[in-house]
Amino acid sequence: MTVNVKVGPMNGKFQGTISIVDQEVQNSYRLIAEGNGSLGFARGSALVTLSEFSGATSLLVDGELEIGGTIARVGQRMIGNVSKTMMDRFFECLTQSIVTNS
């Protein structure tokens, strides 16, 4: 993966990987992400649990993020909002991909 990140006045590009592990088909899976870039590093995981809700599939996401380097020193107070926004965008893109390919 390649991710462009903007945290306050800082811009950077991270190169990394995303893996899907602990997959329980139609129930849950875990995403593991690791990346490095000019602003430092990021490692995280998210447990995604799927359930039926009113005839649709509902996703519950519980995640953790570890960061280091310049991004951690300078953007520490803002990183929570940025990571939530990135996660929201990821699932919006996933939803659009599913709808488009259905």
Q: Tell me: the pLDDT tens digits for 71-95? A: 777 766 667 777 778 778 888 887 7
pTM for this model (two decimals):
0.72
Distance CA 10, CA 17 (A): 22
The pLDDT score that the predictor gives to residue 97 is: 82
> What CATH number is given to the structural domain containing 48?
3.30.530.20
Full residue range of the structural domain in which residue 68 is found: 2-101
Long-range CB contacts for residues 22-31, cutoff 8 Å, separation at least 24:
22/47, 26/50, 31/63
The pLDDT score that the predictor gives to residue 21 is: 96
Q: How many domains does the chain have?
A: 1
Cβ neighbors of 57 (< 8 A, separation 6 or more) are: 50, 51
Q: Going residue by residue through the chain (102 aa), what tens digit of pLDDT does each one get?
A: 898 887 777 888 999 999 999 999 889 999 999 999 988 998 999 999 999 888 888 888 898 888 888 877 776 666 777 777 877 888 888 778 877 876
